[in-house]
Each structure stands twice: as C-alpha cells, then as structure tokens.
Amino acid sequence: MPKLFTNNGAPDPSNSESPDEQSKPPMTYQEYLNQRTIQENVTEDYVLQQNASFMQGAAVPAQQNNPSVQMGEYFVIPVTELRQMLDSGDNPDFIHVYNALKSNANSNSSTAFTQSTILVPVKKVTNDNGAEVHVRANSANTFYIEAYSCPPDKRCPPLP
C-alpha cells in the first residue's frame, strides 16, 4: 500500500485556545521538515474520504454562497513538469502550493471563477546579513506550475 508524507500527529497550535500555543512563532522550514512523518498503508479510501470531506466542508458551501465559483475534486500535473521545475537549476528545498481563483468569461458573457493551484519552488539563500532564509525561486530558468481543478476543467483526464 502507498505511504503518505504528512505532518506529525501533534495538533496545529493555531487551533489551540491556549494563549501560549497561539503566541508561538511560526515554525522555520527546518522545523517544519523535521516534524514531517510517513503514514504507512494509506488506502485510496482514505484519500477519497479526505476529498469528500473537502467537497462537503468547503467546495459545496463556496459554490452555494457564490454559484460563479467552480471547484473541483483534484488537479492533474504532469510529472514531466514537476521534474522540469525541480531540475531548473534553482535547487528548491520546498514547494509552496497556492490556491487561486481564475476569472473566465462564460459563453453567456458572465464571469466564472475556476479553482486553480500554482506550484512555486522555494529555495534557501543567504541574505545580506548572512542569515539563511527561504525565498521563492525566480530566475529566468524557474518554472512555476499552474493546474485547474478537475472537474469542471474539461481538459482533465477522468479518474479510472
């Protein structure tokens, strides 16, 4: 069965009602990396249950609140694009995945907003003060990747 890289089982401090937990500074990238763990024996059912939870808790209410927003279940990103992003020479340590809404004119001239995601490589650099910091890669060789939610994007191949 597949494995899943995920955050450790510790609760997210931002969800805590404790002032001590809420006042903690954000994790560094290294602290974030150190707390990542592997969940063994992840089933397709687990993924589908998490997706159904997102659809019921976020996508459906968003679409009911604003019918011009179109949200989907998944994104399709070719592995060749991921490799090109990773092999661009930026040597990224992390990838930020941004949620986005892209506005599009419908055939009836109204505006629809389609959910998309944009992947941006993040790398470690040394700033002017000699400290190591993480920044978005932005060289001429950098590749970002944008994908639209499937469905409603008709270009998406269906799931088996």
In this structure, which amino acid lies at residue 126?
T
- Distance from the first to the final alpha carbon of the chain: 18
Examine residue 58 and state whether it is found in any structural domain, yes or no: no
Burial 111-144 (b: 16+ CB within 10 A, else e): ebbbbbeebbbebeeeeeeeeeebeebeeeebbb
Examine residue 102 and state whether it is found in any structural domain, yes or no: yes
Instruction: Please give the model's pTM, rounded to 2 decimal places.
Output: 0.84
Examine residue 14 and state whether it is found in any structural domain, yes or no: no
Give per-residue pLDDT as tens, 82-100: 999 999 989 999 999 999 9
Task: Copy the structure tokens of residue 15.
Answer: 């969800």
Examine residue 36 and state whether it is found in any structural domain, yes or no: no
Sequence-distant (≥ 6) Cβ neighbours of residue 49 within 8 angstroms:
none
Structural domain tally of the chain? 1
Pairing status of strand 132-136 against strand 111-126: antiparallel
Going by pLDDT thresholds of 50, 70 and 90, the confidence category of residue 61 is very high
* Owning domain of residue 137: 67-160
Is the Cβ–Cβ distance between 37 and 8 less than 8 Å?
Answer: yes
Task: Copy the structure tokens of residue 98.
Answer: 């941004």
Residue 140 pLDDT > 90:
yes
Q: How much is the pLDDT for 115?
A: 92
Examine residue 26 and state whether it is found in any structural domain, yes or no: no
| Cα dihedral 90, 95, 97, 98 in deg (nearest 10) | -50
Q: How much is the pLDDT for 83?
A: 96
Examine residue 126 and state whether it is found in any structural domain, yes or no: yes
Give per-residue pLDDT as tens, 29-50: 999 999 999 999 999 999 999 9
Runs of H (alpha helix) within the chain:
19-22, 29-35, 44-54, 60-65, 79-86
Examine residue 76 and state whether it is found in any structural domain, yes or no: yes
Examine residue 51 and state whether it is found in any structural domain, yes or no: no
Q: What average pLDDT is seen over the chain?
A: 90
